[in-house]
Amino acid sequence: MNTTGTYGRTVTGPERTQRRHPTTPAIRLARRWRQALLVVHILSSAAWIGIDVIVAVLISTGWFADDIDLRSLAYRALANFVVWPMLASGLLCLVTGLVLGLGTKWGLLRYWWVTVKLVLNVALCTLIVTVLQPGMPDVETYGEELLTGTAADDGIWRLFFPPAVSLTCLALATVLAIFKPWGQTRGPKVPTKPRTRP
């Protein structure tokens, strides 16, 4: 049987068998695998949000606490323990999201809600590596200098930005994942119900 191609061309033979429906997933994902990946995806994004909350608590403690030992400890804990778990959860969220996108009808660039989440995830991971991690030795030094009374308070308040930006983006990504707004980016649209006249 023949089928109709672009501009009404008749498509036969190998060309017809190679074509696939635009919403067919790029990789085949068994139902159990999809469910397992979704569990890991949701857990990793939740872990990422949790680590961001810990970062916000440590920075607030370092800034607002009265006890100088506690302030120093907060900055040194931030410098030593936070960035790598944050990056690991961000990358795990990214990888599982990529496989879920490729393995389901959602695709990666087919729906706005997936595409925007992809951009947010890549941007946040890039910022962790290029901005947050390189600044950590200075944060550690600042924490140590607090104990000796030699700490110069130049720009440490800027540490409030990373958790604020990250938590805002991750909250947006969660809302996008749940509500799936804005429809498709391009290509054939999912057919809608025909309008009925009153």
Backbone angles phi, psi at 191, to 5 degrees: -60, 135
Angstrom distance (rounded) from CA 10 to CA 33: 38
Residue showing tokens 């809302």:
175
One character per residue 123-162, x = contact with ligand HEM (rule: CB under 6 A): ----------------------------------------
Neighbours of 51 (CB within 10 A): 21
One character per residue 162-191, x = contact with ligand HEM (rule: CB under 6 A): --------x--xx--xx-------------
Q: Which of 72, 89, 104, 166 binds ligand HEM (CB under 6 A)?
A: 104
Query: Does position 38 bind ligand HEM by CB under 6 A?
Result: yes
Angstrom distance (rounded) from CA 75 to CA 194: 60
Angstrom distance (rounded) from CA 124 to CA 138: 21
Q: Which is nearer to ligand HEM, 120 or 127 (CB)?
A: 120
Residue showing tokens 């085949």:
28
Tell me the site size for ligand HEM, rule CB under 6 A.
Answer: 24
The radius of gyration computed from the CA coordinates of the chain, to the nearest angstrom, equals: 24
Give the footprint of ligand HEM on this chain (CB under 6 A).
34, 38, 41-42, 45, 93-94, 97-98, 100-101, 104, 106, 108, 114, 117-118, 120-121, 170, 173-174, 177-178
